[in-house]
Every structure is written in C-alpha cells, then in structure tokens.
Structure 1
Amino acid sequence: MVALAKAAQASDYPAEIGLVLSNRPDAAGLERAQALGIATATVDHREFGKDREAFERAMDEALRINQIDLVALAGFMRILTPWFVRRWEGRLINIHPSLLPLFKGTHTHAQALAAGVGEHGCSVHFVVPELDAGPVIAQAKIPVLPGDDEDSLATRVLAEELTLYPAALAAVASGRAALVDGALVRG
C-alpha cells in the first residue's frame, strides 16, 4: 500500500490513491495512509458474522461514497464473493507472491521450494471469482538460490512487489491494460 501511495505522489502518475479501506481496525496501513494524507475507512468484517455479502456491500458503499474507480488489493487476506468481484469487474486488481498460474492461495514460497522450481516471483492480476485465476497484468521473476528458505525467498519477492505493483496499477489506470470479456487487453 505504501509503495502504491508513494508512486501516486509523482505528478505524472496516472492514479490517485483516494482511500485506504481495511477490514481490520488495527491494520498498520491505516496509520501509514493517514501519515501520507490519504483518507481511510474501516469496515470490520467481524461485525457481519458469516454474512460475507453484507460485509462486501458495506465495503462497496464506502468505495462508492469516496468515489473510488479502481481497487488495488494490498494485504487483504479474504476471499471475495462473486457478487463483489462482478461489481468491480475490470476495476479490481491484486498482487500475489508467485508466478501465476503456479502456487495459488497461501504459503506460496513454501510451495515453490517444495516444488523445486528454479524461479519464483510475483504477479499482479485482475481479480475474478476463481481464486488467483484472473488474467496476469505483470510479473517479476527472481531465481531461487541454493540455500533459500521461505524467509529469504519472501524478502526477495517483496522487493520485486514494491516496484511491480505501482507499475501494474499505472498500466490499468492509464488504460494500457484492461480486462475485456475476461481477457487481458493491452492498449
């Protein structure tokens, strides 16, 4: 989130970070956003019990009230319902710590090490109803080094995420990448 916010401070960046919305009132990103002068809001998922759609309708309302056009998920560790994904179709992106379509879900670094792959990385993709299955907008690759463990791999992947995500958001915000009929279209 901070990498996106800092990139958006550049006068030639094609997006403005208009809101940081969290489902956790204690999320560190809220304080960081406030320090950067970005509006914040919280929709605590715990207040909605098991009613995921009611939670997402409250998120949708907060996004609409703040006139948000594009959602970039960052550290949001909840699976979104098809209702929310359809509502924000083509305007909802996520960063994932693997080279999709490999290693969907969680524990991606452990999955990569267990699979013995020679390279790993991160992907920014459009969000679709199926988990981590949307068209990939951009990827960054790193080699898996002898002696790598989950922590060392995660550290190197995170370094790539910090530049990849702002670049991918810029591509979507400027119209150079779009989701059309379920496929990635470059403009």
Structure 2
Amino acid sequence: MPTRDPARLVVLVSGSGTNLQALLDASADPSYGARVVAVGADRDGIEGLTRADRAGVPTFVREVAQFSSREHWDRALTDTVAAFEPDVVVLAGFMKLVGEEFLGRFGGRVVNTHPALCPSFPGTNGPADALAYGVKVTGATLFVVDDGIDTGPIVAQVVVPVEEADDVETLHERIKSAERAMLVENVGRLAREGFTITDRKVRFGSD
C-alpha cells in the first residue's frame, strides 16, 4: 500500500509562536500526517521566526510597510506562500487580515483560531469581552478563514470554564492552552483525513 506524503503546512505568525511550536513538535512524529514547510511573518525579530530557525524550517517576512498598498502586500504574501505549495495555511497568532487575492488562491484551505466560542465575542478582545459579559463558559474556535472577522465555517471548538477569580490574563492563558491542543489535534485530522465544507458545515474526510 503506498505511503501518503505528509500534508504541507505554511504557518503565518506575528509573535512568540507558541501555537507554531506546538505544530512543529507534533509534526516531528511521522504519524501526525503533516509537516511545516515554511513560516512567514508580518514583522522581523520575533520569537516565532526564531522557533522556525531552530527547527530548520525556511522563513520569510512580508511587512505591510514595505509595500505601496495593502493590496500589493497581499499579492506578495500570496505569491510567497504559493511558492511553498501548501495544502493548508495556518494563521497562528497572525495579526493581519489576509486579503482578496490571498483568499482567492488559498480559500477553503486557510485556518485560524479565535479565543472565544464563535460567533460570540469576535475581534481582538475575545477573553476580555467574555469576562465583561459575565459568561460562565468561553473557549476557543478553529475556523476556516473567509472575508469576515472570525466568521468562517467552524472546524472545532473547545470549552473553557470562567472561574470566579479570573481576570483577563488568567482566563486568556487557560484559553490559549486549550486552543493549542485543539489546533494540533484538528490540523492533524485535516491533513490525514481531508475535509469538505457544505452549507458552512466542515466535515472531516474526502468525498
């Protein structure tokens, strides 16, 4: 029986790269079914790039300020990512919105996480908004990126209880821990099993 090649992951980061590290660690096991073939960033000098360097993974930086317009940046990012022939693109703490050209090239194969249970509390302050609202549970969501803000079809979600003594920092740390585990597990499944999207429903397995 022929051995299936591991799925090719391109991971985009903006900061410390803890989600990236979790993917690098998981992909070191051949049974995971995916490997990180490149790591890109929107700024230089970040720990995420250092993690990739330590793992021997090629890196690149595309800063918005280097380009005459956001559209030119998006086109350059798209072309650079495409050169690595990814099966899945993972936005792992990537703090820029990818644009029309990027989604036109990789649409349906780009995943991102959000530190809340979508569609609740979209945007950059999910844990703080959940705490302020007084919810008893929040969590994290893995979704397929579309042209909205945290609005894409949901791949997986994990629930995190809100404790009485929580502040934004303690809650966010517990969410991030659960988020990493969810990301690793489900990116592996996407790689090994394939997936389809019908009427916003993401199903593992290929038709």
Supply the RMSD in Å over aligned alpha carbons: 1.5
Between structures 1 and 2, the one with greater strand share? 2
The answer to which of 84-93 and 10-19 deviates more is 84-93
- In the aligned structure 1, how far is the partner of 2:203 from the partner of 2:31? 23
Paired with 1:7 and 1:110, the residues of 2 have a C-alpha distance of: 30
1:67 maps to which residue?
85
Determine if contact 2:139/2:158 at 8 Å carries over to the other structure.
yes
Amino acid at match of 1:30: L
Deviation for aligned residue 1:176: 4.3
Displacement of 1:181 in angstroms is: 6.2
Within the candidate set 98, 118, 127, 1:100 is matched to: 118
The alpha carbon displacement at 1:52 in A equals 1.4
The separation in 1 between residues aligned to 2:48 and 2:40, in whole angstroms, is 9
Asked if 1:141 corresponds to 2:159, the answer is yes
Q: TM-score scaled by structure 2? A: 0.85
d(CA) in 2 for partners of 1:60 and 1:124? Answer: 22
The Cα of 1:42 is off from its aligned counterpart by: 1.0
Instruction: Measure, in 1, the Cα distance between the counterparts of 2:84 and 2:99.
Output: 21
| Cα pair distance change 1:105/1:13, threshold 3 Å | same
TM-score by length of 1: 0.93
After superposition, where does 1:125-164 map in structure 2 within 5 Å?
A: 125-164=143-182
Change beyond 3 A, Cα 1:181–1:87? farther
Q: Which residue of 2 aligns with 1:24?
A: 43
The equivalent of 1:123 in structure 2 is 141
Gapped regions of structure 2 (runs ≥ 5): 1-19
1:128 is displaced (CA, Å) by: 0.5
Aligned-partner Cα distance in 2 for 1:177–1:98: 23
Contact 1:90 1:180 in 2 (8 A): no
Q: Does 1:185 align with 2:203?
A: yes
Work out whether residues 160 and 174 of structure 2, in 8 Å CA contact, stay in contact via their aligned partners in 1.
yes
Q: Residues 89 and 182 of structure 1: is their aligned pair in 2 closer, same or farther, counting only changes over 3 Å? A: farther
How many residues are treated as equivalent by the alignment?
A: 186
Query: In the superposition, relative to structure 1, how do residues 160 and 109 fare at CA in structure 2: closer, same or farther (>3 Å)?
Result: same
Residue equivalent to 1:58: 76
Matched residue, 1:174 = 192
For residues 160 and 201 of structure 2, the distance between their equivalents in structure 1, rounded to whole angstroms, comes to: 26
Which consecutive unaligned segments of at least 5 residues does structure 1 have?
A: none
- Aligned partner of 2:31 in structure 1 is 12
Moved more, 91-100 or 175-184: 175-184
Secondary structure of 2:158's partner? strand
